[in-house]
Amino acid sequence: MRKDTAHSVSRRSFLAGSAAAAALPGALPHALPRAAMAAAEQARKEGLNVLFLMTDQQHWRSLSLTGNTLVRTPHMDRIGREGVRFSNATCVTPYCSPSRASFITGQYPHRHRILTNVSKDGKQPPLKPDAFPNTEMLLHKAGWRTAHRGKWHLGDTGDFACYTSRTYADAGDGAYNRLLAEKLPAGRFKDHPSPGKYLGRPVEMTSQVEKAYRAFKALPNNRLSYIGIIGRSLVPPDLLPETQITNGAIDQIERAGDKPFMITASWSPPHDLWVIPEPYYSLVDRSKVELPAYSAPAGWDCTGPSRRLGELMGEAGLREYAAIYHGMVKYIDDQVGRVLDRLDELKLAERTLVIFTSDHGDMVGSHRCVGKSIQGFYDDLVRIPLLMRLPGRIRPGTVVSQPVSQIDLMPTILDYAGLGAAAATHGRSLRPLIEGRPDGWRDYAFCMRADNSRMLRTAEHKYVISLRPRQELALYDLRADPHEQHNLASDAATLRRLHGRLVEVMTADGDPLAAKMPKA
């Protein structure tokens, strides 16, 4: 079996290896019912394609379509304008691997058991091919060409017959390293004074950020010191790994020919490291970056790396980080545009379901936090962008306000592909909402962290309970306090009502933590 040799060029959080994992209970049947196969065969003959475009750690309001005034995102916006925008989409957990597993299985993490990021040390084993069927496996078996380019973070894609690549930069075994060494030799920068590097090349940091990075790195037991490397990359856009991912996705679209496909392009930005070259680095005027109103996070968040780095960065440093973050969003918007343009040139847009989303959000300076390394469930972290387009079947300019989740993506794709709703998934097809039939839809969002904390979000309130290391409660009035500045946990009546509702939801979905919840 060919091994992945792109680890040395991947962003730090992507260094996830493989380990053995036991088959999980409650797995779905891998064989499709006869009626579903017939419907899928008809959809295959009609040539329905699926193009799944996703980023990592993208704030739900980072698109100009959703209110971003710092950069324009015309290509992401185009998907929503020409299709549907879900204004109330949430992740299942603010972690990369669990969210990605829920995208492709339709299950909450407490069932698929990818509870934290898949790791090389085996503490979180990868997703096994025989544990749960995933979207691409089902389409692959029904005759679709399937390929994934970019970050997967669930183990080794080579274990799955539906995937054709395992390298992050998608340039083959060692090819990306050779390309970078040829075009931009590391030796060219041997005398560069910057203490931070990305892809083995220097990152130029402002004096404020460099000072914060050095202080952050010196903190005891700090395993995330690298996230303090924030600045201008000297690797030009055409040599970045994400550009190679785009090239690979376009190549797969071109190779599909007349065969229907499901192709995923999964880019890392705006995930850390927060570094970007020109012209994106200077795109945002730092003086125009508005930091959200400040309040100390809830008790269990006050000592996390995101909070500690934010304190060291100060306002000038936080503005620098936020400006770079939005520059990274703009860079990825340009990559999205490249893919959409090629789809148009090949005359495939009219029969392609395009989905754009992200695995979770980012604090972007809210509560003076950098990144996502806190234990809370702020909207900055749990709400995500979600856009879909399918000409002739999704009415342009549709906006869905009902709560939707990552677990709904698998059933939706299978529905449009003619396979019908997948049995025994937590998610549901979004087609009824898209087509204006919201009756019976859930009126809440559920989010979780491993086996210790849970969140219930309604139109009016957000309720959070953490059981370890000690019981912590948070309650926010989202209408009066949208930035979640004031914890109303002393409101006993509302707390009791929402706690009861949360336990009901957990019990109905088979969450094993329900039995350990305190009485309302």
Contact between 439 and 429 under an 8 Å Cβ cutoff? The reply is no
Q: Which of 356, 360, 352 is nearest to 336 (CA)?
A: 356
Contact between 56 and 68 under an 8 Å Cβ cutoff? The reply is no
Of 433 and 133, the structure prediction assigns the larger pLDDT to 433
In sequence order, which residues have a C-beta less than 8 Å from that of residue 465 and are 6 or more positions away? 453, 454, 471, 472, 473, 474, 499, 502, 517
Neighbours of 226 (CB within 10 A): 18
Burial of 61 (0-12, 13-18, 19+ CB in 10 A): middle
Contact between 92 and 99 under an 8 Å Cβ cutoff? The reply is yes
Q: What average pLDDT does range 206-220 have in this prediction? A: 97
Contact between 403 and 442 under an 8 Å Cβ cutoff? The reply is yes
What local confidence, expressed as pLDDT, does residue 408 receive? Answer: 97
> Helix crossing, 305-345 with 74-81: angle to 10°?
70
Phi-psi category of residue 221: left, alpha or beta, with phi > 0 → left and psi -120 to 50 → alpha: left
Contact between 502 and 454 under an 8 Å Cβ cutoff? The reply is yes
Q: Where exactly are the structural domains of the chain?
A: 7-134+142-516
Contact between 353 and 416 under an 8 Å Cβ cutoff? The reply is yes
- Looking at every residue in the chain, the average pLDDT score rounds to 89
CA distance 18 to 37: 33
What local confidence, expressed as pLDDT, does residue 14 receive? Answer: 27
Contact between 176 and 244 under an 8 Å Cβ cutoff? The reply is yes
Contact between 465 and 299 under an 8 Å Cβ cutoff? The reply is no
**Residue 22: pLDDT band with limits 50, 70, 90:** very low
Q: What average pLDDT does range 215-222 have in this prediction? A: 95
Percent of the chain topping pLDDT 90 = 77
Phi-psi category of residue 208: left, alpha or beta, with phi > 0 → left and psi -120 to 50 → alpha: alpha
The answer to whether residue 361 scores a pLDDT higher than 60 is: yes
CA distance 292 to 347: 43
Residues 169-179: pLDDT tens digits? 544 557 888 89
What local confidence, expressed as pLDDT, does residue 44 receive? Answer: 60
The answer to whether residue 206 scores a pLDDT higher than 80 is: yes
CA distance 87 to 172: 38
Distance spanning both ends of the chain, measured CA to CA: 53
Residues 467-514: pLDDT tens digits? 988 889 999 999 999 999 999 999 999 999 999 999 999 999 999 999
Name the fold adopted by 7-134+142-516. Answer: Alkaline Phosphatase, subunit A (3.40.720)
The DSSP 8-state label assigned to residue 383 in this structure reads B
What local confidence, expressed as pLDDT, does residue 13 receive? Answer: 31
The answer to whether residue 15 scores a pLDDT higher than 50 is: no
The pTM for the full model equals 0.91
> What are the structure tokens assigned to 421, written together?
């709703």
What local confidence, expressed as pLDDT, does residue 129 receive? Answer: 85
CA distance 483 to 146: 40
Neighbours of 408 (CB within 10 A): 25
The answer to whether residue 368 scores a pLDDT higher than 80 is: yes
- The winner for highest mean pLDDT among 4-8, 117-121, 427-431 is 427-431
What is the SS3 assignment for 144?
coil
Percent of the chain topping pLDDT 70 = 87
